Amino acid sequence: MDKLSPVGQADALQLAFDLSPVGICVTEHRSVVLCNPAFGTMFGYAPGELLGQPLEPLYPSHAEFEHIGSIGRPVMEACGTYSDDRIMRRRDGSLFWCHVAGKAVDRAQPFARAVWMFEDLSPLRPVAGPLTSREREIARQIVTGATSKQIGRSLGISPRTVEAHRARLMKKLAAGSQRELVARLLGSAPS
Protein backbone atom coordinates (compact mmCIF):
# COMPACT_ATOMS: atom_id res chain seq x y z
CA MET A 1 0.00 0.00 0.00
CA ASP A 2 1.29 3.45 -0.91
CA LYS A 3 2.13 5.91 1.82
CA LEU A 4 -0.35 8.81 2.04
CA SER A 5 0.82 12.30 1.22
CA PRO A 6 0.48 14.93 3.97
CA VAL A 7 -2.75 16.11 2.33
CA GLY A 8 -3.97 12.52 2.12
CA GLN A 9 -3.10 12.01 5.79
CA ALA A 10 -5.05 15.12 6.78
CA ASP A 11 -8.03 13.92 4.71
CA ALA A 12 -7.84 10.48 6.34
CA LEU A 13 -7.71 12.01 9.83
CA GLN A 14 -10.72 14.22 9.05
CA LEU A 15 -12.58 11.18 7.71
CA ALA A 16 -11.78 9.18 10.86
CA PHE A 17 -12.98 12.07 13.04
CA ASP A 18 -16.18 12.62 11.05
CA LEU A 19 -17.14 8.94 10.70
CA SER A 20 -16.05 7.69 14.12
CA PRO A 21 -18.83 5.61 15.73
CA VAL A 22 -18.07 7.24 19.11
CA GLY A 23 -18.41 10.86 20.10
CA ILE A 24 -15.16 12.82 20.09
CA CYS A 25 -14.72 16.36 21.31
CA VAL A 26 -12.01 18.83 22.16
CA THR A 27 -12.72 21.00 25.17
CA GLU A 28 -11.25 24.15 26.64
CA HIS A 29 -12.14 24.81 30.27
CA ARG A 30 -14.90 22.18 30.00
CA SER A 31 -16.56 23.83 26.99
CA VAL A 32 -16.77 22.25 23.53
CA VAL A 33 -14.50 23.82 20.89
CA LEU A 34 -14.67 20.97 18.37
CA CYS A 35 -16.78 17.83 18.13
CA ASN A 36 -17.63 15.16 15.61
CA PRO A 37 -21.16 14.40 14.36
CA ALA A 38 -21.46 11.29 16.58
CA PHE A 39 -20.94 13.45 19.68
CA GLY A 40 -23.79 15.81 18.79
CA THR A 41 -26.09 12.98 17.71
CA MET A 42 -25.47 11.03 20.92
CA PHE A 43 -26.74 13.96 22.95
CA GLY A 44 -29.53 14.95 20.53
CA TYR A 45 -27.94 18.02 18.97
CA ALA A 46 -27.44 19.01 15.35
CA PRO A 47 -23.86 19.19 14.00
CA GLY A 48 -22.12 22.29 15.29
CA GLU A 49 -24.85 23.16 17.79
CA LEU A 50 -22.63 22.30 20.77
CA LEU A 51 -19.63 24.35 19.62
CA GLY A 52 -18.75 26.95 22.23
CA GLN A 53 -21.17 25.42 24.74
CA PRO A 54 -20.22 24.20 28.21
CA LEU A 55 -20.39 20.46 28.95
CA GLU A 56 -22.52 21.03 32.06
CA PRO A 57 -25.95 20.68 30.33
CA LEU A 58 -24.89 17.18 29.23
CA TYR A 59 -24.78 16.07 32.88
CA PRO A 60 -27.89 15.12 34.86
CA SER A 61 -27.22 17.90 37.38
CA HIS A 62 -24.85 20.74 38.25
CA ALA A 63 -23.69 18.75 41.30
CA GLU A 64 -22.71 15.77 39.11
CA PHE A 65 -20.85 18.05 36.69
CA GLU A 66 -18.89 19.54 39.60
CA HIS A 67 -18.31 16.17 41.27
CA ILE A 68 -16.92 14.50 38.13
CA GLY A 69 -14.64 17.51 37.64
CA SER A 70 -13.37 17.29 41.21
CA ILE A 71 -12.62 13.57 40.79
CA GLY A 72 -11.16 13.83 37.28
CA ARG A 73 -8.86 16.83 37.72
CA PRO A 74 -6.40 15.27 40.19
CA VAL A 75 -6.27 12.03 38.20
CA MET A 76 -5.52 13.96 34.99
CA GLU A 77 -2.89 16.03 36.79
CA ALA A 78 -1.24 12.83 38.01
CA CYS A 79 -1.32 10.77 34.82
CA GLY A 80 -2.72 12.93 32.01
CA THR A 81 -5.77 10.76 31.36
CA TYR A 82 -9.09 9.97 33.02
CA SER A 83 -11.92 7.58 32.22
CA ASP A 84 -15.09 6.30 33.84
CA ASP A 85 -18.62 5.12 33.18
CA ARG A 86 -21.22 7.70 34.15
CA ILE A 87 -24.80 8.70 33.54
CA MET A 88 -25.20 11.59 31.10
CA ARG A 89 -28.23 13.55 29.86
CA ARG A 90 -29.55 13.97 26.33
CA ARG A 91 -31.15 17.15 25.08
CA ASP A 92 -34.63 15.67 25.65
CA GLY A 93 -33.77 15.08 29.33
CA SER A 94 -33.42 11.30 29.04
CA LEU A 95 -30.50 9.77 30.91
CA PHE A 96 -28.05 7.19 29.59
CA TRP A 97 -24.89 5.38 30.67
CA CYS A 98 -21.79 6.57 28.88
CA HIS A 99 -18.14 5.53 28.91
CA VAL A 100 -15.96 8.64 28.88
CA ALA A 101 -12.19 8.79 28.39
CA GLY A 102 -10.06 11.89 28.07
CA LYS A 103 -6.50 13.07 27.72
CA ALA A 104 -5.19 16.46 28.79
CA VAL A 105 -2.96 18.41 26.46
CA ASP A 106 -1.09 19.74 29.53
CA ARG A 107 -1.25 17.69 32.75
CA ALA A 108 -0.52 20.79 34.84
CA GLN A 109 -3.76 22.35 33.53
CA PRO A 110 -5.91 19.36 32.55
CA PHE A 111 -9.10 21.28 31.83
CA ALA A 112 -7.39 24.06 29.84
CA ARG A 113 -7.56 21.79 26.77
CA ALA A 114 -8.40 18.10 26.53
CA VAL A 115 -9.58 15.53 24.00
CA TRP A 116 -12.53 13.33 25.03
CA MET A 117 -14.21 10.20 23.73
CA PHE A 118 -17.83 9.43 24.66
CA GLU A 119 -19.32 6.00 24.01
CA ASP A 120 -23.07 5.50 24.47
CA LEU A 121 -23.57 2.38 26.59
CA SER A 122 -27.37 2.53 26.61
CA PRO A 123 -27.82 -0.50 24.30
CA LEU A 124 -25.89 -2.59 26.84
CA ARG A 125 -26.73 -0.76 30.07
CA PRO A 126 -30.06 1.07 30.28
CA VAL A 127 -30.52 3.50 33.17
CA ALA A 128 -32.44 1.59 35.83
CA GLY A 129 -35.38 3.73 36.89
CA PRO A 130 -35.52 7.30 38.14
CA LEU A 131 -32.67 7.90 40.57
CA THR A 132 -31.73 10.99 42.57
CA SER A 133 -28.47 12.77 41.88
CA ARG A 134 -26.84 11.19 44.94
CA GLU A 135 -28.16 7.73 43.99
CA ARG A 136 -26.63 8.14 40.52
CA GLU A 137 -23.27 9.10 42.05
CA ILE A 138 -23.37 6.07 44.34
CA ALA A 139 -24.64 3.75 41.58
CA ARG A 140 -21.76 4.88 39.33
CA GLN A 141 -19.30 3.69 41.96
CA ILE A 142 -21.20 0.55 43.01
CA VAL A 143 -20.91 -0.85 39.48
CA THR A 144 -17.12 -0.47 39.66
CA GLY A 145 -17.03 -2.62 42.81
CA ALA A 146 -16.19 0.22 45.21
CA THR A 147 -16.90 -0.44 48.88
CA SER A 148 -19.15 1.78 51.02
CA LYS A 149 -16.04 3.12 52.72
CA GLN A 150 -14.42 4.01 49.37
CA ILE A 151 -17.65 5.58 48.06
CA GLY A 152 -18.09 7.56 51.28
CA ARG A 153 -14.52 8.85 51.11
CA SER A 154 -14.98 9.86 47.46
CA LEU A 155 -18.26 11.69 48.13
CA GLY A 156 -17.34 13.14 51.52
CA ILE A 157 -20.09 11.23 53.34
CA SER A 158 -20.05 8.45 55.92
CA PRO A 159 -20.07 4.77 54.92
CA ARG A 160 -23.30 4.45 56.92
CA THR A 161 -24.94 7.09 54.68
CA VAL A 162 -23.71 5.18 51.62
CA GLU A 163 -25.29 2.02 53.06
CA ALA A 164 -28.60 3.87 53.51
CA HIS A 165 -28.50 4.98 49.86
CA ARG A 166 -27.53 1.46 48.78
CA ALA A 167 -30.55 0.08 50.69
CA ARG A 168 -32.86 2.60 48.96
CA LEU A 169 -31.37 1.63 45.59
CA MET A 170 -31.97 -2.04 46.33
CA LYS A 171 -35.58 -1.31 47.27
CA LYS A 172 -36.19 0.96 44.24
CA LEU A 173 -34.72 -1.60 41.87
CA ALA A 174 -36.21 -4.64 43.65
CA ALA A 175 -32.78 -6.18 44.14
CA GLY A 176 -32.43 -8.91 46.72
CA SER A 177 -28.63 -8.92 46.87
CA GLN A 178 -25.60 -6.81 46.05
CA ARG A 179 -24.98 -8.92 42.93
CA GLU A 180 -28.56 -8.38 41.79
CA LEU A 181 -28.28 -4.63 42.45
CA VAL A 182 -25.16 -4.40 40.29
CA ALA A 183 -26.88 -6.45 37.56
CA ARG A 184 -29.92 -4.16 37.60
CA LEU A 185 -27.74 -1.04 37.51
CA LEU A 186 -25.87 -2.53 34.55
CA GLY A 187 -29.14 -3.41 32.83
CA SER A 188 -28.51 -7.15 32.83
CA ALA A 189 -29.92 -10.19 34.54
CA PRO A 190 -27.84 -11.56 37.43
CA SER A 191 -25.98 -14.76 36.59
Q: Are 63 and 93 in contact (CB under 8 A)?
A: no
- Strands 81-89 and 114-120, how do they pair? unpaired
Question: Which distant-in-sequence residues (6+ apart) come within 8 Å of 41 by Cβ?
Answer: 23
Question: Which distant-in-sequence residues (6+ apart) come within 8 Å of 171 by Cβ?
Answer: none
The rounded distance, in Å, linking the Cα atoms of 136 and 138 is 5
> What CATH number labels 133-186?
1.10.10.10
Q: Would you write out the chain's pLDDT as a tens digit for each of its 191 residues? A: 578 777 778 888 888 888 999 999 999 999 999 999 999 999 999 978 999 999 999 999 898 899 899 989 999 999 999 999 888 999 999 989 899 999 999 999 999 999 999 999 988 777 766 777 788 888 888 888 888 998 888 888 898 998 888 888 888 877 888 888 887 777 665 55
The rounded distance, in Å, linking the Cα atoms of 156 and 136 is 15
Work out the end-to-end distance of the chain between its first and last CA atoms, rounded to an integer number of angstroms.
47
Radius of gyration from C-alpha coordinates of the chain: 18
Q: Sheet with 23-28: list strands edge to edge.
A: 31-35, 23-28, 114-120, 95-104, 81-89
Residue ranges per domain, the chain? Answer: 8-120, 133-186
Question: What is the structure's pLDDT at 181?
Answer: 82
Question: What is the structure's pLDDT at 190?
Answer: 53
Question: Which distant-in-sequence residues (6+ apart) come within 8 Å of 55 by Cβ?
Answer: 27, 30, 31, 32, 65
Q: Was domain 8-120 assigned CATH 3.30.450.20?
A: yes
Q: What is the pTM of this model?
A: 0.72
Question: What is the structure's pLDDT at 187?
Answer: 67
Distances (CA, A) of 163 to 7, 58, 113, 146, 167: 57, 28, 37, 12, 6
